[in-house]
Structure 1
Amino acid sequence: MAETGPTTLGDLAFEVRSKNAGPFWVTMELFMRDARGYAVAADESFLDERTVARLYGVEESSIQMFRIPSLNVVKISFPRPVSQGSLHDRDIHSGQQHVPLALLPVPTD
Structure 2
Amino acid sequence: MVKLRDVCRHVRSKQAGPFWITFDIFFDGRENFERYSQSAALSSAQFARLYGTDPARVKHIPVADLEMVKISYPRATPQGGMVERDMHAGQQYVRLLDVILD
TM beyond 0.5: yes
The count of aligned residue pairs is: 102
Gaps of 5+ in 2: none
Task: Tell me which structure has the larger Cα radius of gyration.
Answer: 1
TM-score by length of 2: 0.91
Q: 1:75 aligns with which of 70, 86, 99?
A: 70
Identity of aligned residues (%): 35
5 Å-filtered alignment, 1:85-100, equals 85-100=80-95
1:90 to partner: Cα distance: 0.2
Moved over 4 A (4+): none
Q: Which structure's residues are more often strand, by fraction?
A: 2
Contact preservation (8 Å) 2:40, 2:101: no
Question: What is the CA-CA distance between 1:84 and the residue it aligns to?
Answer: 0.7
Alpha-carbon distance, 1:106 to partner: 1.8
Q: Which residue does 1:3 correspond to in 2?
A: none
**How far is 1:40 from its partner?**
3.3
Distance change >3 Å, CA 99–CA 16, structure 1 → 2: same
| Larger relative helix fraction | 2
Q: Verify the 8 A CA contact 1:41 1:74 in the aligned structure 2.
A: no
Whole-Å separation in 2 of the counterparts to 1:71 and 1:22:
23
The aligned runs of 1:43-58 (5 Å cut-off) are 43-58=38-53
Q: Does the CA contact (< 8 Å) of 2:40 and 2:46 recur in 1? A: no
Which residue number corresponds to residue 25 of structure 1? 20
Counterpart of 1:49, as a letter, is S
1:64-99 Cα offsets, whole Å, 9 max, x none, are 110011110100000012211111000000001111
Per-residue CA distance 1:30-62 (angstroms, 9 max, x = gap): 011001221233124442111111111110001
Considering only aligned residues, what root-mean-square deviation do their CA atoms show, in Å?
1.3
Letter in 2 for 1:78: Y
Amino acid corresponding to residue 81 of structure 1 in structure 2: A
